[in-house]
Structure 1
Amino acid sequence: MRLCIIVFLLSCIFLLTSIPARGHELSNGYLSLTVNNDEDVSGTLLLQPFDLEQTVGLDTNTDGQLTWAEVLSRSDALHRYVNEHLVLSTNAQPCPATLHAPTLHSISSQTLIGVAFSFACPASSNLTLQYSAIFSEDPTHKVLFTAAGNDLQATQTQVLTAQADTVELSGTPIDTWATVGNFVYEGIIHIWIGIDHILFLIATLLTVNLYRQHNQWQAESSKRTVLRHTFYLVTAFTLAHSLTLTSTALGWYSPSSRWVELGIAISVLLTALNNIWPVIHRLGWVTFAFGLLHGMGFASVFAELQSVASKPLLTIASFNVGVEIGQLAIVALLLPLLLGLRKVKAYAQFIMPTASSIIALIAVSWAIQRW
């Protein structure tokens, strides 16, 4: 039985190390829409340069260095792509679109390429928007969509994904519970695709079933103590993560995404190394400090939302709830394994240090990529 647990844990570690080292932002964009009147709808679509390079081929000389001149030279191709994958229709009839020259936008230090557009629709109270860009290249791609205007009873906010790519703009506001459910789901997904966040959690919890004695790791015999340590660490991380995610999303400050992502990689590295060569034994405050950093990792998703959303606190709170649900699901899977392994001699001597070393190597790779 113990051998099976060991093999299973090592298999999980191997699986994690085989996943590409990508951070919180896999593929995201923003789509804002303003319904000025029955016949005039305008807006802007913002997408990452990498995504557009994969779909449109912006890097014309293929040297790996995208310039603004190259983007402008591919304006026609970019317009064709947007026109094909962004369709506003009324009564199943597409509205003619006018697209404008590409522009650069910065959201929470993230540079995006924007295409402004306007639709001329026949007078109607029923409008349908369908968005399908990037999904064929990256099924995890998502777009934060907001719609406002005099003809809408309230600002509509939701996340467009490959599974939910159509929005009905009928003048009826989206149900509050639908908005909550949407953003709770996105929070859960954020954790499950955030490999750096998962590895930080694993590194933090790898020693909750052990204690230091005579400069050596020893098995913690009390399950209650293991559970108490886990509760303290997860709570510290949760409070810190929620605090900075909320305050950054509300626009109180705008940290550099480059330094945030680098800091997250370093936090994973230091936590893993501390498991091997313990310098800090009381991890609560350190975990809280690193949690503040991790909470900034997804802030750019809400930066555009803050300027137009009618209920930004609701969406941010819902996202936070989803983050914690996803985090608790990971802890619930990991904790029984740690309880089962704590008295296995090979765990403290081999499995925990090996797992921590692998995590540290991955974190070093992230830090180099993000520097």
Structure 2
Amino acid sequence: MFRFLALVFLMLIASAQAHQIAEMTLQISADDGRFEAVIQADAAYMLPEFRGDEDVAAQDLAWLRELGAEEWRRIQRETELYLRKCLSIRSESGPLDWRISFPDFDADPPRFLEEGMAEMLPMIEVRATGDFMGETLSLGWEEPFGVVLIVQAGDETIPVISGYEEAVLQRDASDAIEVVTPSISGWIVLGFRHIIPDGLDHVLFILGIFLFVPRWKPLLAQSLIFTVAHSLTLGCAVLGWVQLPELWVELAIAASIAWIGIENLFLKKLGAGRYALIAVFGLIHGLGFARMLTPLLPEDRPDALVACLAGFNVGVELGQVLVLALAFAVFGWWKEKNFAYARVSGSVLIATAGIAMMVERIMAAT
């Protein structure tokens, strides 16, 4: 059993280090019978050998600059193949033809040779343009590794989950395009995905809670406290009321995982102190959520902002409940004596993972 748990632990750590982007942004506009979509893409992710490979490290702008003209042309070819496979653009009359251009590469010299710091991500701009004579425009997204497409149209932001739904836009009186209906379900799915499969740190935290008291009532109470707490700091951070350095937030999240694992080894019973600790750690994790979510939220739209945050938090809670349900499915039938061994070994692994994350994040910042 211990070897099996260790194997699972190592697999989780390996997956957390994979070069895998979580989302890609697309800003779309229309004017005089034409549409233009501006996509921000990670140049490394556009190459098949980097996509979905757990053993390949993330690349930076220095890497892109060193490739040379032949590899730059290859990036453009692979990007076009990728987008035409994943992205569909339709009006009410059917699929639309669109052309692709690469402003960063077309400049002389290429923009990325002179703009940006070497350690930044190798982001490139891609433009898709075509004729748009209808009243509505629909964007579909089918991405093999689950990358979320963040569509920005005017003041509205829509997360489009791969294979899940479309972004539906329509013309307004000025010939611009606007969102037909806000995608609340998309924000729920985005929150869920931030736990499963993208939230290893949050999953470890929830498993740490489970290992101490594997009973539904106290677990759901702790999960709800955690969600309410991180919702508070998430909202405050998004509104700009709370700002903390990214490194300190990430270190605190890792420390919370280590703390839960260690405390499980010494705590005798569940009490008010543990509930208070869950709330404090929830406040910390909310700041981590905000770092990812803030760039995706609509600006100057308080009505849409509330709906987006609510949907995201519902998705996070559903993800946490699923983690608990899966844990019950694996361990719920174990005898108390056998589960005591799992509690100790699992808590040690969770504490070790939290400490490893702290070390990794400190090293990455130095």
TM-score w.r.t. structure 1 length? 0.70
The answer to whether structure 1 residue 274 and structure 2 residue 263 are counterparts is yes
Residue 66 of structure 2 aligns with which residue?
A: 70
Task: Give the AA of the match of 1:100.
Answer: P
The answer to whether structure 1 residue 157 and structure 2 residue 144 are counterparts is no
Distance in 2, matches of 1:355 and 1:266, equals: 17
Asked whether the equivalents of residues 146 and 308 of structure 1 are also in contact (C-alpha less than 8 Å), the reply is no
The answer to whether structure 1 residue 322 and structure 2 residue 315 are counterparts is yes
Q: Which residues of 2 match residues 138-287 of structure 1 at below 5 A?
A: 139-148=145-154, 155=156, 157-161=158-162, 163-164=163-164, 167-171=167-171, 173-176=179-182, 179-193=183-197, 194-208=199-213, 229-253=218-242, 255-278=244-267, 282-287=273-278
Give the share of equivalent positions with the same residue, in percent: 20
Asked whether the equivalents of residues 34 and 130 of structure 2 are also in contact (C-alpha less than 8 Å), the reply is yes
Secondary structure of 2:153's counterpart equals strand
Q: In structure 2, which of residues 74, 77, 86 is the aligned counterpart of residue 80 of structure 1?
A: 77
Q: Which protein has greater RCO, CA pairs closer than 8 Å, 6+ apart? A: 1
Unaligned runs of 5+ in 2: 105-110, 172-177
Task: Give the AA of the match of 2:211.
Answer: L
Secondary structure of 1:206's counterpart equals helix
**Number of aligned residue pairs:** 328
Asked whether the equivalents of residues 183 and 322 of structure 1 are also in contact (C-alpha less than 8 Å), the reply is yes
Residue 280 of structure 2 aligns with which residue?
A: 289
Residue 113 of structure 1 aligns with which residue?
A: 123
Deviation at 1:369, TM superposition (A): 2.7
Task: Give the AA of the match of 2:169.
Answer: L
Task: Give the AA of the match of 2:323.
Answer: I
Pairwise CA RMSD of aligned residues? 4.1
Residue 227 to residue 157, structure 1, CA distance change in 2 (3 Å): closer
Q: In structure 2, which of residues 13, 21, 24 is the aligned counterpart of residue 27 of structure 1?
A: 21
Q: Which residues of 2 match residues 126-141 of structure 1 at below 5 A?
A: 126-131=136-141, 135-136=143-144, 139-141=145-147
Deviation at 1:81, TM superposition (A): 3.5
Residue 174 of structure 2 aligns with which residue?
A: none
Distance in 1, matches of 2:90 and 2:78, equals: 17
TM-score w.r.t. structure 2 length? 0.71
Asked whether the equivalents of residues 208 and 347 of structure 2 are also in contact (C-alpha less than 8 Å), the reply is yes
Distance in 2, matches of 1:164 and 1:336, equals: 27
Asked whether the equivalents of residues 206 and 338 of structure 1 are also in contact (C-alpha less than 8 Å), the reply is no
The answer to whether structure 1 residue 345 and structure 2 residue 337 are counterparts is yes
Deviation at 1:269, TM superposition (A): 1.1
